[in-house]
Amino acid sequence: MPLRPARVGRVGVIGAPVAKTAVVAKAVSPGPSPVAKTAVVAAAVTPGRRRRI
């Protein structure tokens, strides 16, 4: 279906072709189960965790 006329001939806002990002559900293998990975991420963003510099 055609785009509305207001979209045609204008300068875009995205700027350049977009690269596909890694799909989260597929990025959690190999290694521990997705559930374990979720726990790891949850631990990383838990208040009180301190960085080691």
Partner 1 sequence: MTDITTEAAAQERDLDSLGPVDYIVVEFPAGASNFTGEMSEELLRLVDAGTIRLIDILILTKDADGSVDAMELSDIDELGDLQRLEAELAELLAAEDVEHLAAAMEPGSTAGVLIWENLWAAPFASAARRSGGQLIANGRIPIQAIIASIEADQATASEGA
Q: What does the binding site for partner 1 look like in residue numbers (CB under 8 A)? A: 1, 3-4, 6-22, 24, 27-28, 31, 37, 40-41, 43-45, 52
What is the maximal distance between C-alpha atoms in the chain?
55
- Closest CB to partner 1 among residues 10, 48: 10
What are 39's two structure tokens? 């726990």
Q: How far is the CB of 26 from partner 1 (least distance, A)?
A: 10
Q: How far is the CB of 48 from partner 1 (least distance, A)?
A: 15
- What SS3 state is found at 12? coil
Q: How far is CA 19 from the centre of its chain?
A: 12
